[in-house]
Structure 1
Amino acid sequence: MRQKIVVANWKMHKDFGEGLQLATRVIQMLHKSVEHAVQVVLLPPFIHLDAIRKLLPTSGHIHIGAQNCHQHAFGAFTGEIAAPMLRSVGTNFVLVGHSERRNYLGEGSALLAQKMTVALMSGLRPIFCCGESKQTREAGHQEFFVKKQLATSLFHLSVAQIAQIVIAYEPVWAIGTGSTPAPTQVQAMHHSIRSTIAHKYGERIAQSIPILYGGSCDAQNARTFFACPDVDGGLIGKASLEAESFVSIVNSLE
């Protein structure tokens, strides 16, 4: 059975005090309500990583992750954070390829391939984001587009490496817009992603990789998306900034 995972992507929100308050509340609520079969990953800004890690329970079902890492393990890259540095403070996961970094910072497939490699070599579990724009969807090219994203950023990985990753499908046109695809559209894309992985690495590996949905997923619609057979959890943005709404989403996955 594939892991069930819900990821909280705080993006560039919450100062130090606010972040500790939110993390504390989420952890308290999850401790009371969630079966340990659901893995929860908190992705706060870098300033919170060490402090929130110290709040995590010993049960091992709540993890800390980073929203980004540099493509090199060390060097003269002012202002950047290396994957080994993240691992050294107890970080378990790292987000790679989020559409906001692709769009605003120009991160392309070759760069993301490097990030995937350095993350895995540093002991981090990467969450690789993929998804199409509104224009690509309207042209009917969404499956081809996402397959290309997967091939150009992931297919250099070995079987052992690909088995460690998480994939998050995030249609760009649904992120932070309030527009959501139909569950049938989400399932179709998740099935396409899994089939693409199977074609390269085999059905056993493809069936083991969690594929999350992200894009205006909230407490009201999460259960509908999570009911899709190839949806194994969610990458949650805005709705993760309130403890009650985020925990409600996590509970929807049980």
Structure 2
Amino acid sequence: MTRRGFLATAPLWAADAATMALLQRAIAHDDANLERMRSYVFGVNDVFRSIHEPMISQSYEVNLIRGGMYWRRLTENGQPLNAELAAAEQTRLRAHLRTASSQTQAKWREERDVLSRWVAAHRFRTTGRKRIEGRDAILVETKPGGEYAGDLAYLATAHGKLAIDQETGHWLSAEFEIYGHTRYAMFQLLYGRLSLPYSVGLINRANLPSRAKLSFGLRLTADGLWVPRFQLIEAKEYRSTLTFSEFRRFTSESQLLLDPA
């Protein structure tokens, strides 16, 4: 491309100052929201489809009372757990509720720096505004710039489309297409301002081929809590979906036990 050609197209990828200011807010962790989530329990449905094996589905009840997300399995391939497995899950949950865990210096907080490096290394442009579920959103497209660090996880080679809540900076929706083979292992589910840290021994791991797609969506509940709606990973040979539902408050830890004896 000639220099004149570059200068002619560059403004198309120059986001306005208001959008860049919103992006800086959109990568700042919402600590207050995370602390509120520790008073909630919610459901997650995990479905994995592959062209090489039968579909696998599992459902969980999740809480963040002691540090990161605790996943209590409820069903396997649509069927309730048998008595032995259900009892084992209750035993694990009781042990978890007795254990205190500090997240002050947790690794997931450190790896959130990936978002700052992403903003610095990628290019953005504003493509419009839209009303999404009653919220005013700014639409932004992103693609890699000339240089990027090798530790940007799934964002390094990603071309993305974001709908960012204009008031709070939360990512109402995000769609990323991966243009290079990407592996990552993270101590959280990372959804813009919203992080869901994993409990000790669990990790968010993926091996994404080129042209895989990653998307997710958030929503604001009636009582003012930002929560995830879904996460979807699509590749040529598989499809992985997390669906989040039934966010509800509890007043004591005993409410999480089916048999609080």
TM-score calculated relative to the size of structure 1: 0.30
Structure with higher Rg: it is 2
* Greater fraction of residues in strand: 2
Higher helix share: 1
TM-score of the pair, normalised by structure 2: 0.30
